[in-house]
Structure 1
Amino acid sequence: MNKRSDLTARNFPSAQQEAGKAVPQTNYDGPESAYRLAFTDTDFLLRQELRPVRMQLELLKPEMQQQELGIESTIVIFGSARIVPRDTAERLVADATSAGNPTALAIANRHLVMSRYYEEARRFAEIVTTRSRSMTTPLYVVTGGGPGIMEAGNRGAFEVGGKSIGLNIVLPHEQAPNPYITPELCFQFHYFGLRKMHFLMRSIGLVCFPGGFGTLDEMFEVMTLMQTGKCRRRPILLFGKEFWTKLINFDWLVETGMISELDLQLFKFVETAEEAWDILDAEYGFSLHENEKGGASADI
């Protein structure tokens, strides 16, 4: 018998042990009973007054899991859930053409044009995963865990044998996680705010592909935090200059005094996965033997 183990043995049963052996008494096993252990009582944990506890749990669960898996630095990919892969878009065009439906064909052609961003996101994730694999601090792709650009990011990492993270959110219209996320790194959130916080906690760069309200919300929150000095600056790369400059007149914001000209340095436009990687490499020196500038962000 190893006597030394007595020095570090638990003095009390763990919560897991207690929960495993807690069997309600016959008179107190009904739904109205308050006899259940508080931490095993779902009805209790879901009470409105317990919101602060639930928020803390959403902060801790992804944080502790990533710590245990040694994940320190991430690259975040934002973008639309509605952008489809090229082969899907080509099939939509073929179907619409065969049906002789001009409206469907116009929509399908639009999908085909935008599908290039799916392919770039997929290729960018491949590059991040393969080129950082041998680094002292590997980089992991993080997405919102859904379809479209998010799927492309997780898929790119998956197809080269890498791990990637998905931060899914419960929505009124159910959004299932895409099938390419590493299972032990696939998280589900109730609170948008905590989800967005986790996007930033380990990120060393953020890549924004074309998207709608959700993408804009995520992108502008990051820009605001950096502009106001609430978190350290890191590269923000906007894929597709034509899309972003048509959507947002950044020059007009400067001209009207709504932002300063220096704020335009918060982001850079890129067109290809290689260009995006080169900017990150120049910022952090990934190609050097010792990555002195890398590491996790602990500013949130």
Structure 2
Amino acid sequence: MNRRLDLTARNFPSAKDECEALTPHPNYDGPGSAYELAFKDEAFLLRDDMRPVRMQLELLKPELQLTEQGVRSTVVIFGSARIPPRDAAEQRVAAAEAGGEPDAIRRARMQLDMSRYYEEARNLAKLITEGSAARGEPIYVVTGGGPGIMEAGNRGAFDAGGKSVGLNIVLPHEQRPNPYITPELCFRFHYFALRKMHFLMRSVALVCFPGGFGTLDELFESMTLMQTGKSRRRPILLFGREFWSRLINFDLLLETGMISPGDERMFHYVETAEEAWALLETEYELATTPTL
């Protein structure tokens, strides 16, 4: 027996060991009994009073897993779940034209036009994954883990043979994680606030593709945290100047004093994956030759 192992041996059994060693107690295992271990008692953990503990767990689980997986720097890709890949959009146009309903045809053609953003998000994620890996400083793509632009981001990293993160969330309508997320980096959240916190904790840049309420919420919370000094400033890239300038009148915010001069420089408009990656290369001097 190697007594030196005692120097690092556990003094107490782990929670897992203790759960596995439990023996049933018929007199106390029935409904309504309070005998279950607290950390194993689902009914107890789901009480309203335990919300602070559940929030802490939702903060800790991804944090510990990401640390263990060596994820230090990320680029977050936000965008609509409703933007399909080009092949799917083309199929919808064909089906709509076969049906002959003008509104359906118009919507399908708009989706086909917007599908270019899916392809740009996929290409950008591939460039980030390949470009950072080549320097030995991996930058991981993070998305909300769903379909559309989120799928495109995870898919691009997958195309490059790299890992990527998906931060999925429970919604009233079922949302499944897309199939391109690295399984050990795929998380499910209940609280939007903690999910958004994890988007920002390791990010070196935020990339916003066209999207709806959820995308706008993520963008403006990020900008507010940077504007107020709660979070360090980092590049924010808005894909598609025409979309964003029509959606948000930043000039009006400046003219009316709702934001300060300089706040409009918190973001950059970009149109292509190559343009976005070049901007990040410049920002972080990634295009220089690594020191050997």
Does the CA contact (< 8 Å) of 1:196 and 1:218 recur in 2?
yes
Counterpart amino acid of 1:166? G
Shift of 1:137: 2.4
Shift of 1:96: 1.4
Instruction: Please state if 1:243 is matched with 2:243.
Output: yes
Cross-structure match for 1:152: 152
Distance 1:60 1:83 in 2: 32
Shift of 1:78: 0.2
Structure 2 length-normalised TM: 0.98
Cross-structure match for 2:207: 207
Counterpart amino acid of 1:123? N
Structure 1 gap ranges (5+): 292-300
Cross-structure match for 1:101: 101
Distance 2:214 2:288 in 1: 36
SS for the counterpart of 1:207 is: strand
SS for the counterpart of 1:259 is: coil
Counterpart amino acid of 1:162? G
Shift of 1:10: 1.0
Distance 1:200 1:135 in 2: 23
Does the CA contact (< 8 Å) of 1:24 and 1:35 recur in 2?
no
The percent identity for this pair of structures is 69
State how 1:120-159 maps to structure 2 within 5 Å: 120-159=120-159
CA RMSD of aligned residues (A): 1.0
Cross-structure match for 2:274: 274
Distance 1:155 1:267 in 2: 25
Counterpart amino acid of 2:235? P
Q: Deviations over 1:185-228 (max 9, x none)?
A: 00000110000000000000000000000000000001001111
Shift of 1:22: 1.4
Q: Deviations over 1:227-263 (max 9, x none)?
A: 1111110000000000000000000100000011200
Counterpart amino acid of 2:146? G
Distance 2:250 2:167 in 1: 29
Does the CA contact (< 8 Å) of 1:24 and 1:36 recur in 2?
no
Cross-structure match for 1:110: 110
Shift of 1:30: 1.1
Distance 2:213 2:24 in 1: 48
Counterpart amino acid of 1:225? L
Cross-structure match for 1:298: none
Q: Deviations over 1:160-202 (max 9, x none)?
A: 2111000001111111111111100000001100000000000
State how 1:173-252 maps to structure 2 within 5 Å: 173-252=173-252
Shift of 1:97: 1.5
Counterpart amino acid of 2:272? T
Q: Deviations over 1:131-175 (max 9, x none)?
A: 111333210000000111001101111122111000001111111
Structure 2 gap ranges (5+): none
Structure 1 length-normalised TM: 0.95
Counterpart amino acid of 2:12? F
Distance 2:41 2:289 in 1: 52
